[in-house]
């Protein structure tokens, strides 16, 4: 097949019109998401394989992957219809090689005697001759053949499908590549590229599809990854710059007196990590632009008081504050904590959850609207249309990974209109206890500033973690019993509430089993999300007061529950929980001065499950685990692309491409500062590509 005349191919040329693409293949291309030439070009190899070294036929050894070339002297179709195999004999000046393709009857029209082929595959001894079954093959054009060429080629391996092998994709791309490359314009200015030692876009595509060396593959990837990350960061920063221009926030007051008063409420000295975060937050809240800051810290690092500090700053400025938690249990817990800390002050608090009786809920709504409530703690019930704040100054969202960006926006729009007539937005703080690797947070929450609380409050003893099989269950509970006898308390986490689901341990029967067995004579209670709020509160209250020895629960206790005397945790069916989840659960113990223990009971059925359990047992550092999680699952899954609202990456891979991400972020920030809407003539192409890629997901329509 010869290349089409230059100019015949456009980036918009439909796949059907690409020379050599048959109708069936065209359909398969479309199913792979490749309707036109541009998509072919962007269909990047998953990896590259170094071809086996080419040798003469007499040098080939059975059992090895080999590459050889020669002339076809004979072909035949054998076997019955439907199961036909195609056989060919290939010879060079040193010997003979047999080729066989099973189900290869269709090849009879493509491979004919006299033709020269280059073949590749694993050879085997078959009768007197060497044979390759189902070799990869290509026809060598005698005129093009370089007789002396024996160099090994890096061959792209493309994401393929059953009806469209990588080989076919490779051949198709090869056909359009030169024409298509000529049509590519670079959206990055030459000096910008030169400074960062990035190859030209055209050259990058050439090198990824038709690399001359490993080095070229690396260089090409570097450019394409950078492009992907830069476009995303530009989009995110553009949006952010727009929000800053369009929205106003109430600047909050701060003075040493206010600071002293707030600190006076805290029963402990803040850690260095907390101080740093508070410093950053205070600076944010004093500005008339809405803060959007992610506060991340490991489980138990003390995020709540940091949030409380911000909320009290709002109150000191005659503004309201809201704290939104992902579950009722957590909202209740926060409400309780804050109520205790503010005991005796004149700050007016309210709790708002979906399970409250309608009249109670409505009276809270009215109080919020009238400005009779200073701080409201609640669940997503806070997002309801009927919640209208009198003057919302600070919105805190706990456990970000459970809320999507849209919900963040929901609270954002609840502060009324400012004096200038611009919509007034509250300052927003987002707390997450699933430490998101810093770099990933930058990408996905690129519109947020990030404060990280390093370190834990003093007096914590690290939690010892053990992973054991189900056969050790009795032993584990016998040991836990001795700890209960010593006056400590324990959590037992099981995956389900009721018996049934696939023989998994459940809350009800586990309570019974323990009460009657290992924990006989101890006070055991069950806790799960189907209980009424009042019951749940009562049980948590009793557990906190030491009136319950062992609490058997589902993952409702995953976040926020804070009982320092509880020092032992058993997680049954640990293999069924995610890495972050196990770490969260474990974070419920190790909150006091007692030596804490976490036992993971389970039998890993997959290597991933095993890797998760091992990772959790090996470190108690949430940030290290998050990196591990990222490796095991990839960023899309880790955050859920639904939550992040962003498509998974096409080329970039984490943690591998972290340096490029940081570079892209820095560059994007500078760029948008200089040119907020990318409106310069030389930015036209960049802007077009940005809008095409992220315009919709980031809602840039009204920005750019």
Binding site for ligand ADP (CB under 6 A): 268-271, 274, 297, 299-305, 433, 457, 562, 591
| Strands (E) located in 302-456 | 320-324, 349-352, 375-378, 392-398, 427-432, 449-453
Provide, rounded to whole angstroms, the least separation between the CB of residue 272 and ligand ADP: 9
Residue 207 gets the label, from left (phi > 0), alpha (psi -120 to 50) or beta, of alpha
The partner in contact with residue 581, picked from Mg ion, ligand ADP, none with C-beta cut-offs of 5 to 8 angstroms by kind, is: none
The partner in contact with residue 300, picked from ligand ADP, Mg ion, none with C-beta cut-offs of 5 to 8 angstroms by kind, is: ligand ADP
| C-beta of 131 vs 301, nearer to ligand ADP | 301
The partner in contact with residue 302, picked from ligand ADP, Mg ion, none with C-beta cut-offs of 5 to 8 angstroms by kind, is: ligand ADP
The partner in contact with residue 455, picked from ligand ADP, Mg ion, none with C-beta cut-offs of 5 to 8 angstroms by kind, is: none
| C-beta of 168 vs 271, nearer to ligand ADP | 271
Q: Which whole-number Å values give the CA distances from 645 to 5, 395, 400, 401, 445, in the listed order?
A: 43, 21, 13, 12, 10
Provide, rounded to whole angstroms, the least separation between the CB of residue 274 and ligand ADP: 6
Distance CA 606, CA 316 (A): 54
Distance CA 599, CA 604 (A): 14
The partner in contact with residue 372, picked from Mg ion, ligand ADP, none with C-beta cut-offs of 5 to 8 angstroms by kind, is: none
The partner in contact with residue 596, picked from Mg ion, ligand ADP, none with C-beta cut-offs of 5 to 8 angstroms by kind, is: none
The partner in contact with residue 301, picked from ligand ADP, Mg ion, none with C-beta cut-offs of 5 to 8 angstroms by kind, is: ligand ADP
Provide, rounded to whole angstroms, the least separation between the CB of residue 322 and ligand ADP: 17
Task: Name residues whose C-beta falls within 8 Å of residue 544's C-beta, 6 or more positions apart in sequence.
Answer: 563
Distance CA 178, CA 181 (A): 5
| C-beta of 301 vs 400, nearer to ligand ADP | 301
Provide, rounded to whole angstroms, the least separation between the CB of residue 303 and Mg ion: 5
Task: Name residues whose C-beta falls within 8 Å of residue 651's C-beta, 6 or more positions apart in sequence.
Answer: 44, 221, 224, 225, 228
Write out the binding residues for Mg ion, residues 510-569 only, by CB under 5 A.
Answer: 560
Write out the binding residues for Mg ion, residues 17-36 only, by CB under 5 A.
Answer: none
CA nearest 293: which of 93, 436, 73, 446? 446
Contact 313, 282 (CB under 8 A): yes
The partner in contact with residue 271, picked from Mg ion, ligand ADP, none with C-beta cut-offs of 5 to 8 angstroms by kind, is: ligand ADP
Contact 355, 328 (CB under 8 A): yes
| C-beta of 559 vs 615, nearer to ligand ADP | 559
| C-beta of 270 vs 597, nearer to ligand ADP | 270
Kindly compute the dihedral angle of the four CA atoms of residues 660, 663, 665, 668, in this order, to the nearest 10 degrees. Answer: -120
| C-beta of 261 vs 650, nearer to ligand ADP | 261
The partner in contact with residue 457, picked from ligand ADP, Mg ion, none with C-beta cut-offs of 5 to 8 angstroms by kind, is: ligand ADP
Provide, rounded to whole angstroms, the least separation between the CB of residue 476 and ligand ADP: 26
Write out the binding residues for Mg ion, residues 319-358 only, by CB under 5 A.
Answer: none
Task: Name residues whose C-beta falls within 8 Å of residue 218's C-beta, 6 or more positions apart in sequence.
Answer: none
| C-beta of 448 vs 609, nearer to ligand ADP | 448
Place of tokens 């970039």: 652
Provide, rounded to whole angstroms, the least separation between the CB of residue 299 and Mg ion: 8
| C-beta of 70 vs 622, nearer to ligand ADP | 622
| C-beta of 86 vs 403, nearer to ligand ADP | 403
Assess whether the previous peptide bond of 676 is cis (omega < 30° from 0).
no
| C-beta of 231 vs 325, nearer to Mg ion | 325
Q: Which residues pair with 450 in a beta bridge?
A: 294
| C-beta of 166 vs 620, nearer to Mg ion | 620
Which two structure tokens, joined as six digits, stand for 215? 């080095």
Q: At what angle do helices 533-544 and 328-341 cross, to 10 degrees?
A: 50
The partner in contact with residue 192, picked from ligand ADP, Mg ion, none with C-beta cut-offs of 5 to 8 angstroms by kind, is: none
Residue 535, number of CB atoms within 10 A of its CB = 11
Provide, rounded to whole angstroms, the least separation between the CB of residue 427 and Mg ion: 19
Provide, rounded to whole angstroms, the least separation between the CB of residue 319 and Mg ion: 23
Provide, rounded to whole angstroms, the least separation between the CB of residue 268 and ligand ADP: 4
Task: Name residues whose C-beta falls within 8 Å of residue 390's C-beta, 6 or more positions apart in sequence.
Answer: 320, 368, 369, 370, 371
Residue number with the smallest Cβ distance to ligand ADP? 302
| C-beta of 278 vs 664, nearer to ligand ADP | 278
Provide, rounded to whole angstroms, the least separation between the CB of residue 37 and ligand ADP: 52
Residue 605, number of CB atoms within 10 A of its CB = 10
| C-beta of 220 vs 626, nearer to ligand ADP | 626
Contact 429, 295 (CB under 8 A): yes
Angle, vertex CA 526, rays to CA 524 and CA 528, nearest 5: 160
The partner in contact with residue 586, picked from Mg ion, ligand ADP, none with C-beta cut-offs of 5 to 8 angstroms by kind, is: none
Contact 367, 350 (CB under 8 A): yes
Provide, rounded to whole angstroms, the least separation between the CB of residue 562 and ligand ADP: 5
Contact 202, 224 (CB under 8 A): no
| C-beta of 560 vs 602, nearer to Mg ion | 560
Q: Which whole-number Å values give the CA distances from 535 to 525, 538, 540, 614, in the listed order?
A: 11, 5, 9, 36
Q: Give buried/exposed letters for 617-630 (b at 16+ CB in 10 A, else e).
A: beebebbbbbbbbb
The partner in contact with residue 16, picked from ligand ADP, Mg ion, none with C-beta cut-offs of 5 to 8 angstroms by kind, is: none
Provide, rounded to whole angstroms, the least separation between the CB of residue 591 and ligand ADP: 6
Give the residue ranges of DSSP H helices in 342-424: 358-370, 405-412
Q: Provide the 3-class DSSP secondary structure of residue 278.
A: helix
The partner in contact with residue 325, picked from Mg ion, ligand ADP, none with C-beta cut-offs of 5 to 8 angstroms by kind, is: none
Provide, rounded to whole angstroms, the least separation between the CB of residue 279 and ligand ADP: 15
The partner in contact with residue 327, picked from ligand ADP, Mg ion, none with C-beta cut-offs of 5 to 8 angstroms by kind, is: none
Residue number with the smallest Cβ distance to Mg ion? 560
Q: Provide the 3-class DSSP secondary structure of residue 332.
A: helix
| C-beta of 433 vs 616, nearer to ligand ADP | 433
Site track 31-70 with Mg ion (rule: CB under 5 A), x = hit = ----------------------------------------
Task: Name residues whose C-beta falls within 8 Å of residue 228's C-beta, 6 or more positions apart in sequence.
Answer: 649, 650, 651, 652
Question: Based on C-alpha coordinates, what's the Rg of the chain?
Answer: 32
Provide, rounded to whole angstroms, the least separation between the CB of residue 295 and ligand ADP: 9
The size of the interface with Mg ion (CB under 5 A), counted in residues, is: 1
Provide, rounded to whole angstroms, the least separation between the CB of residue 402 and Mg ion: 12
Kindly compute the dihedral angle of the four CA atoms of residues 680, 686, 687, 689, in this order, to the nearest 10 degrees. Answer: 160
Evaluate the CA torsion angle 124, 125, 127, 128 in order and state its sign. Answer: positive
| C-beta of 212 vs 459, nearer to ligand ADP | 459
Residue 22, number of CB atoms within 10 A of its CB = 10
Contact 435, 297 (CB under 8 A): yes
The partner in contact with residue 270, picked from Mg ion, ligand ADP, none with C-beta cut-offs of 5 to 8 angstroms by kind, is: ligand ADP
Provide, rounded to whole angstroms, the least separation between the CB of residue 433 and ligand ADP: 5
Binding site for Mg ion (CB under 5 A): 560
């Amino acid at each position: 097949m010869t290349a089409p005349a230059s100019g015949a191919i456009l980036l918009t040329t439909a796949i059907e019109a690409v020379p050599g693409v048959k109708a069936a293949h065209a359909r398969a291309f479309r199913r792979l998401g490749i309707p036109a030439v541009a998509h072919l070009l962007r269909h990047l190899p998953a990896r590259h394989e170094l071809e086996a070294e080419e040798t003469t036929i007499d040098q080939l050894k059975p059992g090895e992957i080999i590459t050889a070339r020669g002339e076809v002297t004979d072909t035949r179709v054998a076997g019955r219809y439907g199961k036909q195999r195609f056989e060919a004999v290939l010879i060079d000046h040193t010997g003979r090689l047999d080729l066989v393709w099973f189900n290869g009857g269709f090849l009879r029209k493509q491979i004919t005697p006299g033709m020269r082929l280059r073949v590749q595959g694993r050879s085997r001894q078959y009768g007197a001759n060497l044979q390759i079954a189902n070799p990869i093959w290509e026809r060598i054009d005698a005129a093009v053949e370089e007789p002396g060429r024996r160099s090994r080629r890096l061959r792209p391996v493309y994401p393929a499908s059953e009806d469209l092998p990588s080989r076919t994709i490779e051949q198709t791309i090869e056909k359009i590549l030169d024409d298509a490359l000529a049509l590519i314009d670079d959206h990055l200015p030459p000096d910008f590229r030169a400074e960062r030692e990035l190859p030209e876009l055209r050259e990058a595509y050439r090198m990824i599809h038709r690399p001359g060396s490993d080095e070229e593959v690396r260089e090409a990837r570097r450019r394409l990854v950078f492009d992907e990350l830069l476009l995303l960061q530009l989009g995110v920063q553009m949006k952010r710059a727009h929000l800053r221009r369009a929205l106003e926030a109430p600047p909050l007051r701060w003075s040493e007196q206010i600071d002293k008063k707030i600190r006076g409420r805290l029963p402990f000295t803040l850690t260095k990590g907390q101080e740093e975060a508070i410093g950053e937050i205070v600076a944010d809240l004093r500005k008339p632009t809405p803060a959007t800051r992610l506060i991340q810290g490991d489980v138990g690092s003390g995020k709540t008081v940091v949030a409380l500090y911000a909320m009290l700053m709002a109150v000191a400025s005659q503004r309201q504050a809201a704290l939104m938690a992902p579950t009722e249990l957590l909202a209740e817990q926060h409400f309780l904590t804050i109520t205790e800390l503010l005991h005796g002050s004149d700050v007016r608090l309210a709790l708002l959850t979906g399970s409250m009786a309608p009249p109670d809920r409505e009276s809270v709504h009215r109080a919020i609207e009238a400005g009779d409530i200073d701080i409201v703690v609640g669940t997503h019930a806070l997002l309801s249309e009927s919640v209208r704040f009198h003057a919302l100054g600070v919105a805190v969202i706990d456990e970000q990974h459970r809320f999507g960006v849209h919900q963040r926006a929901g609270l954002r729009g609840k502060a009324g209109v400012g004096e200038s007539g611009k919509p007034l937005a509250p300052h927003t703080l987002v707390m997450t206890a699933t430490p998101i690797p810093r770099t990933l947070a930058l990408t996905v929450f690129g519109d947020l500033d990030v404060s990280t609380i390093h370190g834990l409050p003093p007096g914590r003893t690290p939690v010892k973690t053990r992973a054991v099989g189900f056969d050790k269950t009795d032993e584990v509970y016998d040991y836990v019993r001795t700890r209960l006898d010593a006056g400590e308390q324990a959590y037992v986490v099981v995956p389900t509430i009721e018996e049934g689901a696939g023989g998994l341990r459940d809350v009800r029967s586990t309570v019974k089993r323990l009460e009657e067995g290992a924990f006989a004579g101890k006070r055991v209670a069950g806790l799960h999300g189907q209980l009424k709020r009042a019951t749940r509160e009562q049980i948590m209250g009793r557990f906190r007061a030491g009136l319950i020895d062992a609490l058997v629960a589902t993952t409702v206790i995953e976040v926020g529950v804070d009982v320092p005397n509880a020092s032992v945790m058993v997680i049954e069916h640990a293999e069924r929980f995610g890495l972050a989840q196990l770490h969260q659960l474990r974070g419920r113990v190790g909150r006091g001065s007692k030596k804490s223990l976490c036992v993971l009971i389970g039998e890993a059925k997959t290597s991933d499950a095993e890797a998760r359990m091992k990772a959790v047992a090996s470190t108690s550092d949430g940030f290290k685990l998050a990196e591990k999680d990222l490796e095991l699952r990839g960023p899309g899954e880790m955050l859920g692309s639904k939550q992040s609202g962003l498509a998974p990456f096409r080329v970039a891979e984490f943690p591998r491409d972290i340096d490029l991400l940081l570079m892209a972020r820095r560059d994007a920030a500078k760029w948008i500062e200089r040119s907020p809407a990318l409106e310069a003539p030389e930015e036209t192409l960049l802007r077009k590509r940005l809008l095409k890629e992220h315009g919709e997901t980031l809602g840039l329509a009204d920005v750019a």
